[in-house]
Structure 1
Amino acid sequence: MELLSSLHISPLEWIIIMVCGMLIGMSKVGVPGVSMIVVPALAFIFGAKQSTGVLLPILMMADLFGVAYYRRHANWNHLIKVIPWAVVGLVIALWVGKMVNDEQFKNLIAILVFLSIALMLWQDKRKGTNLFPDKWWFAATMGILGGFATMIGNVAGPVFAIYLLAMHLPKNSFIGTSAWFFMIINFTKFPLQLFVWNNITLHTLTIDLFTIPAIALGAFVGFKAVKIIPDHIYRGFVIVITAISAFLLLL
């Protein structure tokens, strides 16, 4: 109890943090979009930039749950195409991190996500006509945008969902590929935020450790939820949740 009180966080703020941990756990095992509310919630408690230092280790711990369960379902061909470009996005974001306007950036991401959804749905109606997924520039664009978005505000979920949805991956492959992507990217971000942005401290890491039970509970609930959703419905479910997530970025 003395340790908890020394962190100077109110009971209500602890409840919000634990709910955020649970939502992140759910999102990492295949319930996309439910964690989008986490970004503004933690920013309200800790401030915009400091909140990213609190959130990143929580995401990393949740990534381990997702990879542990879906590790055999990743499509490495798609990962190899996009990860190098995502690293480029991280480097760009690292450089402009202290200058970028967070609100304008989030609005741009939301607009691009909506545009990507529209293009993807249009492609689906053409039945078999592959407009862009096999093009190198599509992986490059999604990778750079995703890397930039995750470094600036941990909002790359909708962007990478668009990339995977365009590949028409089955449900488990979609989740497994996404799990590996974000684990690799988030573990890459950790030293950058620790040593360059200096927003990860012993204080923030102590807070993160207390979220482990909430993350585990969220992962358990997420596993159950994914099993209930049939494969043929999952794609539409992801599109709807992704669109809602993009809309939240505009708020």
Structure 2
Amino acid sequence: MPELGVADWVALATAAAMVGFAKTAVGGLGAVSVALFALVLPARESTGAVLALLLVGDVIAVGLYRRHVEWAHLLRLLPAVVPGLCLGAWFVARADEALMQRAIGLVLLAMVVVQVSVRTRGAGMASIPVRWRGVVRTSAPLAVGVVAGFATMTANAAGPVMMLYLLMAGLPVLALLGTGAWFFFIVNLAKLPFSAGLDLLDRSMLLMDLALVPALVVGAALGALVAHRIPRRRFEELTVGLTVVAAGALLI
């Protein structure tokens, strides 16, 4: 891990707070935190650092929404995540620093496109032509699982595509939050052996994450307090803009 200055620690603490806020309020903010970590730390190792913090956030989210999970959707999705994780781990193992940085930027931009599509076109089954709904129900879990597995392994950025699937499934808000919380907790746990095998996590990274946990907890608490009070649409628009800027910086 490189030596970090005061500005670096401020950026990482801000990113950690965003991770916590994303887990309890506006999920799209997590993409900004991923980009900040990749800008401050080496791109490959940043994915491991973010993963450890995500797991802390997942525990908080599961604690809040554990009773609102739809296990049927999880059981359809989780098997398809495995090939996506394997493909992502293969890519990370072969990518150099420059390619990894650009890959994270591209994945983040792709997830922004998904997020904007959800906002502008609607994602419920009612928005899909009747003749295609059966195909969507049968093929969507496989496609979403593979894409989510690859996106989360390479850039910890599967949130938008997962949200798109759960919205298409017609889940109410609490079920969406609970199912998403359990999904990412299970998937992030499954990523640990891959990340350890790729040397993305070491003692120095874990100590750094430990120092950032208080910022994450503050972000999570703030998210839980304001989740129902903030103008959600405006906040998501700001999040999209910040993600595009941060992803663009990774691609330059």
Q: Distance in 2 between matches of 1:215 and 1:96?
A: 29
Per the alignment, residue 118 of structure 2 pairs with: 117
SS at structure 1 position matched to 2:4: coil
RMSD over equivalenced CA pairs, Å = 3.2
Q: Is the 8 A contact 1:79 1:177 kept in 2?
A: yes
Q: Distance in 2 between matches of 1:161 and 1:122?
A: 9
Per the alignment, residue 85 of structure 1 pairs with: 80
Alpha carbons of 1:120 and 1:224: their partners in 2 closer, same or farther (altered >3 Å)?
A: same
SS at structure 2 position matched to 1:220: helix
Per the alignment, residue 44 of structure 1 pairs with: 39
SS at structure 1 position matched to 2:200: coil
Per the alignment, residue 220 of structure 1 pairs with: 221
Q: Report the CA distance between 1:118 and its aligned residue.
A: 8.2
2:176 to 168, 171, 174: 174
Deviates more, 1:145-154 or 1:27-36: 27-36
Greater share of helix: 2
SS at structure 2 position matched to 1:98: helix
Q: Distance in 1 between matches of 2:157 and 2:173?
A: 21
Deviates more, 1:176-185 or 1:32-41: 32-41
Q: Report the CA distance between 1:148 and its aligned residue.
A: 0.4
Matched-pair identity in %: 27
Q: Distance in 2 between matches of 1:130 and 1:209?
A: 51
SS at structure 2 position matched to 1:93: helix
Per the alignment, residue 135 of structure 1 pairs with: 137
Per the alignment, residue 210 of structure 1 pairs with: 211
Alpha carbons of 1:96 and 1:201: their partners in 2 closer, same or farther (altered >3 Å)?
A: same
Alpha carbons of 1:116 and 1:140: their partners in 2 closer, same or farther (altered >3 Å)?
A: farther
2:52 to 54, 57, 73: 57
Deviates more, 1:140-149 or 1:111-120: 111-120
TM-score (norm 2): 0.82
Per the alignment, residue 3 of structure 1 pairs with: none
Q: Distance in 1 between matches of 2:39 and 2:247?
A: 16
Per the alignment, residue 196 of structure 2 pairs with: 194
Alpha carbons of 1:124 and 1:52: their partners in 2 closer, same or farther (altered >3 Å)?
A: same
2:165 to 160, 163, 166: 163
Q: Report the CA distance between 1:242 and its aligned residue.
A: 8.1
**Which amino acid is 1:109 matched to?**
A
Q: Report the CA distance between 1:96 and its aligned residue.
A: 2.4
Alignment coverage as a number of residue pairs: 241
Q: Distance in 2 between matches of 1:249 and 1:11?
A: 20
Q: Distance in 2 between matches of 1:156 and 1:117?
A: 14
Q: Is the 8 A contact 1:123 1:131 kept in 2?
A: no
Q: Is the 8 A contact 1:97 1:152 kept in 2?
A: yes
Please say if 1:19 is aligned against 2:14: yes
Q: Report the CA distance between 1:161 and its aligned residue.
A: 1.0
SS at structure 2 position matched to 1:211: helix
Q: Report the CA distance between 1:247 and its aligned residue.
A: 4.5
Per the alignment, residue 66 of structure 1 pairs with: 61
TM-score (norm 1): 0.82
Q: Distance in 1 between matches of 2:243 and 2:203?
A: 32
Q: Distance in 2 between matches of 1:111 and 1:218?
A: 22
Gaps of 5+ in 1: 1-5
Post-superposition CA distance 1:99-148 (Å, at most 9, x none)? 46443552773486269638962766658948448622111101100010
Q: Distance in 1 between matches of 2:165 and 2:241?
A: 17
Please say if 1:34 is aligned against 2:29: yes
Q: Distance in 2 between matches of 1:24 and 1:190?
A: 18
Q: Is the 8 A contact 1:132 1:138 kept in 2?
A: no
Alpha carbons of 1:188 and 1:119: their partners in 2 closer, same or farther (altered >3 Å)?
A: same
